[in-house]
C-alpha cells in the first residue's frame, strides 16, 4: 500500500497493517476481504420498468431546472436546489440521500464533517471531488424539513434529474451511501446490511451499484469504518477492471 493511501486510511480512522510475508493489506477488525459474489443482472421486466428517458437537458439546462424546480413540496422549505459537485466525466458517481442543513445553505452535497470523511474515503481510492474522477449528488436535490426521510412521491418527482445526470456522466460505477439512498435508488426495502456485499445494477445501462455506509453513520459508529474500506476496495477493483 502506498504511503499516501495509508495516510488517508489513518485519517479515516482505520488502522492498517501489512503482513511481512505477503505484503497484502488488511484492515484491523475488518470483515474478510473476499471478492463480492457475482450478482445476477436485473430481470428484463425490471430494466424495462426503469427504462424511461430523462428529459434531454444539457448541463446548464439541467442545473437551471433543478434550481427552479417546484415539482414537489420540498421547494417550499429549501434554500436552494443542490445539483451535485465534481467531474462531469466521472468514472464513479456517489449518490446520497438528500441535502442536509449545511448543504442546503451552501448549495453543495456532502459538506461538513460527513463530507470531509467522504472526501477522505474517496481519496483513499485515488478520487477527489475537486481533482476529478468522481461526481457526488443525492437522490433528492432539495432538503427535506428536519432531515426526515424522503417520501416516495418526492423521490419519483426528482428522479428525472438523477437519470439525466447519469446519462450525461455515464459513470462506470455508482456508490450508494446509506440505507435511504440505496433503498430509493434500487427500489428495494431490504436493510443496508442485506444490500451491502454484492453488486446491484441501475437503469437502462445497468450501471453497477455498490452500497456502503453513510459517512455520518461512520462518524457515529467508527467501528464500521473498516467495513467501509472493504466496500471502497470493491469499487476500486471494479473501476480497475473496466479501465
| Assigned C-alpha cell, 126 | 485515488
Segment 37 to 76, residues that bind ligand SF4, using CB under 6 A: 66, 69, 71-72, 74-75
β-pair type (16-17, 26-27): antiparallel
Q: Smallest distance, Å, CB 27 to ligand SF4? A: 36
Q: Which of residues 155-174 bind ligand SF4 (CB under 6 A)?
A: 157-158
Residue 95 in contact with ligand SF4, rule: CB under 6 A = no
In angstroms, give the least distance from the CB of 99 to ligand SF4: 9
Distance CA 79, CA 55 (A): 24
**Dihedral (CA of 196, 197, 198, 203) sign:** positive
**Rounded Cα–Cα distance for residues 64 and 62 (Å):** 5
Q: Return d(Cα 219, Cα 158) in angstroms, integer.
A: 28
What is the closest distance, in whole angstroms, from the C-beta atom of residue 173 to ligand SF4 in the complex? 24
Regarding 140 and contact with ligand SF4 (CB under 6 A), the answer is yes
Q: How far apart are alpha carbons 80 and 67 in whole angstroms?
A: 6
- How far apart are CB 157 and ligand SF4 at their closest, in Å? 4
Is 154 among the residues that bind ligand SF4 (CB under 6 A)? yes
* Contact residues: ligand SF4, CB under 6 A: 66, 69, 71-72, 74-75, 81, 140-142, 154, 157-158
Amino acid at each position: 500500500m502506498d504511503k499516501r493511501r495509508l495516510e488517508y486510511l489513518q485519517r479515516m480512522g482505520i488502522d492498517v497493517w501489512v503482513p511481512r510475508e505477503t505484503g497484502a493489506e488488511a484492515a484491523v477488525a475488518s470483515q474478510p476481504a473476499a471478492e463480492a459474489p457475482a450478482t445476477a443482472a436485473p430481470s428484463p421486466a425490471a430494466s424495462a420498468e426503469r427504462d424511461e428517458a430523462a428529459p434531454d437537458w444539457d448541463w446548464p439546462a439541467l442545473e437551471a431546472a433543478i434550481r427552479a424546480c417546484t415539482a414537489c413540496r420540498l421547494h417550499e422549505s429549501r434554500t436552494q436546489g443542490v445539483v451535485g459537485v465534481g467531474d462531469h466525466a466521472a468514472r464513479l458517481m456517489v449518490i446520497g440521500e438528500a441535502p442536509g442543513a449545511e448543504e442546503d445553505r451552501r448549495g453543495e452535497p456532502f459538506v461538513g464533517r460527513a463530507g470531509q470523511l467522504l472526501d477522505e474515503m474517496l481519496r483513499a481510492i485515488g478520487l477527489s471531488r475537486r481533482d476529478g474522477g468522481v461526481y457526488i449528488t443525492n437522490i433528492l436535490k432539495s432538503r427535506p424539513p428536519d432531515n426526515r426521510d424522503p417520501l416516495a412521491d418526492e423521490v419519483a418527482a426528482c428522479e428525472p434529474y438523477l437519470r439525466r445526470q447519469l446519462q450525461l456522466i455515464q459513470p462506470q460505477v455508482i456508490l450508494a451511501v446509506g440505507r435511504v439512498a440505496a433503498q430509493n435508488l434500487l427500489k428495494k426495502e431490504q436493510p443496508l446490511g442485506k444490500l451491502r456485499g454484492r453488486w446491484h445494477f441501475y437503469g437502462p445501462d445497468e450501471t453497477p451499484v455498490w452500497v456502503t455506509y453513510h459517512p455520518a453513520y461512520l462518524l457515529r459508529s467508527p467501528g464500521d469504518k473498516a467495513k467501509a474500506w472493504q466496500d471502497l476496495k470493491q469499487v476500486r477493483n471494479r473501476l480497475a477492471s473496466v479501465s
